[in-house]
Amino acid sequence: MTTAVVIGPRSMLGSQIIERLQALDIKILTAGRAAADDIFLHLGVSEVKILEGLSADIVFHCAASFADDGDNGHRQNFDINTASAIDVARLVEVLGASVLVYAGSASSDETLDPGNFTSYGLTKGLAEQILAWAAQKQGFRFCSLRFPQIYDTEGRCCGHQAWFGRIIAYASRGHDIRMPRSFGIRNFIHVRDAADLMIRAGHAEITGILNIAHPEAMTCNEIAVVAYDTFGLGGNVIEAPEKAPFRRINFADGSQAFAQLNLLPSIRMKDGIGMIRDAGTSTAFGPMDVT
């Protein structure tokens, strides 16, 4: 790998992939809507502008729509997540790239959370099908890593992981937190580990869908206990029976994917929360309440 294109360079995962690639002295081209991007790519509106002479070995696709399941949200998710896959495949072709690594989602597995299959999960899964089909037609290698819940050190994850953000906010202030009961575990992976797995997938001769799940799975209440122990500022986790419990979610076993990639996540939950504490970024986490 000498030159990589990152679609969604300012996303939480995309920016982390860029940071990790820079440490490896890989030349990076960015694809997005900003004037500063090397390639103009506006997902969902079929508009791709590539300067003549640009080429790349590999493309990392980290951009997505996380809209809700209202009518407008359905359309937005389909346009940005699914229909744009045709433009992404075209980008791979024009650049002459031999590999496309996609940041998929565990939500695309219909058995993950029975009865709560979202348009986000559906449209991300449909994109995988389009990109796999294009890979066969065009002759590039396609791999999708279906990630569970991703968190970071700077608090950018809070828009998608509200309860994780709330736990950090309360523990870092030493306040008591009222939490629902947990009927099942959650699975979180730090964005740095996610980026390293994407990069490894780019090097490994692997195709198809890889289910990623951190070997350490915990309930939200257990995560809160780790957070309070890590910050050590007092406060307690109090069960709130009036709140709807955290339902059971069936995360896939990630061991096969890690064996194929020959790489395991290196950051456990206590390490990740310790990174937040040591970086002094806990004030970026929240909200202070979740309905």
pLDDT recorded at residue 115: 86
On the question of pLDDT at 4 being above 80, the answer is yes
Token pair recorded at residue 229: 């122990």
State pTM to two decimals.
0.95
Q: DSSP letter string over 160-215?
A: T-HHHHHHHHHHHHT--EEE--BSS-B-EEEHHHHHHHHHHHHHS---EEEE---S
CA distance readout (Å), 122 to 11, 17, 93: 21, 25, 25
pLDDT at 271 over 80: yes
In tens, the pLDDT along 167-207 reads 999 999 999 999 999 999 999 999 999 999 999 999 998 99
Question: What's the mean pLDDT when you consider all of the chain?
Answer: 94
Is residue 112 scored above 70 in pLDDT? Answer: yes
> Parallel, antiparallel, or unpaired: how do β-strands 208-211 and 177-179 relate?
unpaired
Neighbours of 115 (CB within 10 A): 5
Count CB neighbours of 181 within 10 A: 14
pLDDT over threshold 70, residue 274: yes
Give me the amino acid identity at 273: I
Secondary structure of 28-90 in HEC code, one letter for each residue:
EEEEECCCCCCEEEECCCCEEECCCCCCCCEEEECCCCCCCCCHHHHHHHHHHHHHCHHHHHH
Residues whose CB is less than 8 angstroms from the CB of residue 98 and which lie 6 or more positions away in sequence, other chains included: 57, 58, 140, 141
Q: Residue type for 231, please?
A: F
Give the strand pairing for 208-211 and 237-239: unpaired
Burial 19-37 (b: 16+ CB within 10 A, else e): eebeeeebebbbbbeeeeb
- Provide the pLDDT for residue 290: 67
Q: Distance (Å, rounded) from C-alpha 31 to C-alpha 144?
A: 19
Q: Identify the structural domains of the chain with CATH numbers, from first to last.
A: 1-147 (3.40.50.720)
- The helix/strand/coil state of 117 is coil
* Whole-number Å distance between alpha carbons of 63 and 14: 8
pLDDT computed for residue 291 by the predictor? 57
Is pLDDT at 114 greater than 90 in this prediction? no
